[in-house]
C-alpha cells in the first residue's frame, strides 16, 4: 500500500492527497515534518522536503512527479486527457501554478502566515513578478468550470490547494489580492471544488490536524 508522508497543512501534500482520493487509491498517511535529518527520510526525500510517498517499489518525492506516477500506475479514473497534447496542456497548467504563482508568492508566507517580516524590496519584486505571471496564467486557465476546461484534472489538484494561498498572502502583505485584482475568481472556483468529497476530506483533516497541540 502507498504511504503518503508529510503533514496536512502543506499544500503540496494536499495536492498529492487529492489525486489519491480522486483516483480511489488505497493509502495511509505518515506525519513527517520538513527538513528532517533522519537518514531514512533523507533516503526517501534527499532534501528533506514533503510530500513524498512510499510504494512497494520504493520512495518518490516531488509532488508533480508523484501525481504523474499515480496517473501512470492507476490510469482510471483518468486525471489527464487521453491524447498526449491534451495531457501535456494539463501538466503545463499545473506546472505554471506551482512554479510561477505559488513559488513566487511563497516569499511572502513568512509575514503572511508565520509572524515574520518581508522586506519592502522583496515585496516590490514579488508584486511585479506576480503581476506578470498572473496575466500569463489567465492565458492558460479556463475555469469552465475546472481550471483546464470542462473536466476535473491534475491541474485542479494544484489550483485548489495553491490559489487561495497566493490570494491570501498577497492580500495580507501587499494589501491587495492580486488574483482578484487580475480578474481571477478563485473564491467561486474554490467553493465549487470544495464540495467534492476529496476536498471535503482534505479540509476536515487539515482542521483536525490544526486542532492537535504540536510538541
CATH of the domain at 153: 1.20.1050.10
Structural domain contains residue 32: yes
Which three three-digit cell numbers place residue 196?
467534492
Structural domain contains residue 193: yes
Query: What is the maximum alpha-carbon separation in the chain?
Result: 48
- Which among 45, 73, 101 is the end of a domain? 73
Whether residue 126 contacts residue 191, with contact meaning beta carbons closer than 8 Å, is answered with no
Structural domain contains residue 79: no
158 and 59 in one domain? no
133 and 35 in one domain? no
The residue segments making up the domain with residue 8 are 2-73
Which three three-digit cell numbers place residue 80?
489527464
pLDDT value of position 214? 63
Q: Residue holding cell 511585479?
A: 128
Structural domain contains residue 78: no
Tally of domains in the chain: 2
Classify residue 172 as exposed, middle or buried by CB count within 10 Å of its CB (0-12, 13-18, 19+): middle
| Sheet with 27-31: strands ordered across | 27-31, 2-6, 52-55, 58-61
170 and 68 in one domain? no
202 and 111 in one domain? yes
Nearest to 64 by CA among 139, 157, 194, 136: 157
3-class SS letters over 100-155? HHHHHHHHHHHHHHCCCCCCHHHHHHHHHHHHHHHHHHHHHCCCCCECCECCCCHH
pLDDT value of position 95? 97
Structural domain contains residue 127: yes
Structural domain contains residue 102: yes
Structural domain contains residue 106: yes
186 and 161 in one domain? yes
168 and 102 in one domain? yes
pLDDT value of position 99? 98
Structural domain contains residue 125: yes
- Which among 39, 73, 107 is the end of a domain? 73
98 and 37 in one domain? no
CB atoms within 10 A of CB 206: 19
207 and 127 in one domain? yes
135 and 186 in one domain? yes
CATH at residue 16: 3.40.30.10
Side-chain-side CA neighbours of residue 76 (13 Å): 0
| 3-class state of residue 164 by DSSP | helix
pLDDT per residue, tens digit, the chain (215 aa), is 999 999 999 999 999 999 999 999 999 999 999 988 899 999 999 999 999 999 999 999 999 999 999 999 999 999 999 999 999 999 999 999 999 999 999 999 999 999 999 999 999 999 999 999 999 999 999 999 999 999 999 999 999 999 999 999 999 999 999 999 999 999 999 999 999 999 999 999 999 998 877 65
pLDDT value of position 113? 97
Side-chain-side CA neighbours of residue 20 (13 Å): 24
Amino acid at each position: 500500500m502507498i504511504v503518503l508522508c508529510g503533514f496536512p497543512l502543506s499544500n503540496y501534500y494536499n495536492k498529492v492527497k487529492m489525486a489519491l482520493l480522486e483516483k480511489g487509491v488505497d493509502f495511509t498517511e505518515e506525519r513527517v515534518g520538513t527538513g528532517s535529518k533522519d537518514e531514512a527520510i533523507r533516503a526517501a526525500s534527499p532534501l528533506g522536503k514533503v510530500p513524498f510517498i512510499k510504494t512497494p517499489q520504493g520512495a518518490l518525492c516531488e509532488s508533480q512527479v508523484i501525481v504523474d506516477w499515480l496517473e501512470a500506475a492507476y490510469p482510471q479514473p483518468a486525471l489527464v486527457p487521453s491524447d498526449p497534447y491534451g495531457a501535456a496542456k494539463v501538466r503545463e497548467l499545473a506546472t505554471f501554478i506551482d512554479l510561477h504563482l505559488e513559488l513566487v508568492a511563497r516569499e511572502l508566507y513568512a509575514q503572511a502566515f508565520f509572524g515574520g517580516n518581508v522586506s519592502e524590496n522583496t515585496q516590490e519584486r514579488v508584486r511585479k513578478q506576480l503581476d506578470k505571471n498572473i496575466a500569463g496564467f489567465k492565458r492558460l486557465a479556463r475555469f469552465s468550470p475546472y481550471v483546464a476546461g470542462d473536466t476535473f484534472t491534475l491541474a485542479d489538484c494544484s489550483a485548489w490547494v495553491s490559489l487561495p494561498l497566493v490570494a491570501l498572502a498577497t492580500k495580507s502583505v501587499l494589501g491587495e489580492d492580486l488574483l482578484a485584482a487580475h480578474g481571477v475568481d478563485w473564491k467561486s472556483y474554490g467553493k465549487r471544488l470544495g464540495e467534492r468529497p476529496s476536498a471535503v476530506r482534505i479540509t476536515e483533516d487539515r482542521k483536525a490536524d490544526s486542532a492537535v497541540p504540536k510538541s
